[in-house]
Chain A
Amino acid sequence: MQATSGTSASNAADTHDRLFMTLAEELKSPLMRIARQSELLALGNECAADLRSVRMNADMTLRLLDSYLLSLRLAREPDTLFAVQPVSVGAVLHEAQGRLTDVAREYDVELGLDIGGRYEPVMANDQALTTALVTLGYSLIEALPAMGTQQLRLQLAAHRTKYGIVAGMYCDADMLTPATLRRAHNLRGHARQPFVDVLPGSGAGVFVADAILKAMSSRLRVGRYQRLPGFAVTLSPSQQLQLV
């Protein structure tokens, strides 16, 4: 029994170490942008757009750190800290779209939102679900120009399947498949670029979003919406409210 709990504690520590390594690698990018943009501003090329970009990069860094900390706290004390309750997927996607708008503009990425119909509430933690989707969105928006896709568009969408309500973010990235995600999970923390065909960085945003969702007993998976591949999470409808 002791050996089993020792092994599981060691696996958990390894998972955390690997997540931390992807995060540390990822944080270099916004910090580099801030450092170089500040240098440029100091050279006298000051304009409102540059200052706004510096501030936005600093905000992105802080939000990624906050999301990472949230994933750690959720993993340690899921029940005491974050209650799962009926949540509207449409409202969460709408909120995520609002929070991603400025970053999307900076990267010339068009954001789309398609909620499609009326869905019953799902069982989730509102704050955690929103944070996971926003973190994932940042990661994809940053990566879209580097993918060489036909159109710089990120589609936020919800749809119903027999397994539940699916909330996801989709883009014109044909190389994104379930195998890509599986391989990236294995390479996480070991390779500098685990999503080699999809994301130029360490993919920390994807892994942090997955860690948050995992604490709510969901997982990020690769899915398709209107033929566009993307990352999605399937959420269980609230049975209680269905009866009402």
Chain B
Amino acid sequence: MANILLIEPDRVLARTYGSALERAGHKVQAATTAQSALQLADEVCPEVVLLELQLVAHGGVEFLYEFRSYADWQSIPIAIVSNVPPAEFNQSVGVLRERLGVVAYCYKPQTNLQHLQRAVEDALARQPRLAA
């Protein structure tokens, strides 16, 4: 069982992901914006973060930089679960992995609930190593 911080702007989808992950024994806290996610992270001390990149105002990448700027949160694995196809990040996959500690990238339309669960289990087993 893990404490999961889910950052998903679609409230209905967040509810569905939350139910599926809770059914697998996890505890899920959901936020719809980057700002509320940072506040929630402070309260719940997540063990894994699931992040959509397409957020309103402050995007997912901004969240990543802000989140990783706190020493306490540098070793928390983050999996991206996004509408943005990974191919669009070809040039910056290295930055996402090495600088921002992203341990997995799930393209949302092709990620079913089983895949999501597996991504969480895999993320829990991996500690990001951030490059200086």
| Chain A interface SS verdict (over half) | helix
> Which of B14-22, B69-77, B91-99 faces chain A?
B14-22
**Contact: B108 with A146, CB < 8 Å?**
no
Q: Which of B33, B52, B83, B84 interacts with A148 by CB under 8 Å?
A: B33
A43-B54 CB under 8 A given contacts A107-B12, A146-B10: no
Q: Which residues of A contact B56 (CB under 8 A)?
A: 143, 146-148, 196-200
A33 to B10, CA, bound (A): 9
B113 to chain A, nearest CB (A): 5
What is the bound-complex CA distance between A40 and B19, given in angstroms? 8
B13 beta carbon closer than 8 Å to chain A? yes
Chain A interface size, under 10 / 10 to 19 / 20 to 34 / 35 or more: 20 to 34
Indicate which residue in A33, A43, A108, A192 contacts B23 across the interface (CB closer than 8 Å): A43
Interface size on B, residues (CB 8 A): 26
Residue B128, interface by CB 8 Å:
no
Q: Please, which residues of chain A bring their CB within 8 A of the CB of B36?
A: 148
Given contacts A197-B56, A198-B56, A199-B56, contact A39 B113 (CB under 8 A): yes
Instruction: Determine if A40 and B113 form an interchain contact, defined as CB atoms under 8 angstroms apart.
Output: yes
Q: Is the CB of A192 within 8 A of B55?
A: no
Q: Are B16 and A146 in contact (CB under 8 A)?
A: no
Q: Which of A106-135 contact B (CB under 8 A)?
A: 106-108
C-beta contact mask, A21-64 vs B, less than 8 Å → 1, else 0? 00000001101110111011001010000000100010000000
A71 on interface, CB distance cutoff 8 Å: no
State the Cβ distance, B54 to closest chain A Cβ, in Å: 5
Q: How far is the CB of B12 from chain A (nearest CB, A)?
A: 5
The 5 A-B pairs of least Cβ separation, nearest first, read A146-B9, A148-B33, A200-B9, A145-B11, A36-B16
Chain A residues within 8 Å of B, Cβ to Cβ: 28-29, 31-33, 35-37, 39-40, 43, 45, 53, 57, 106-108, 142-143, 145-148, 175, 192-193, 196-201
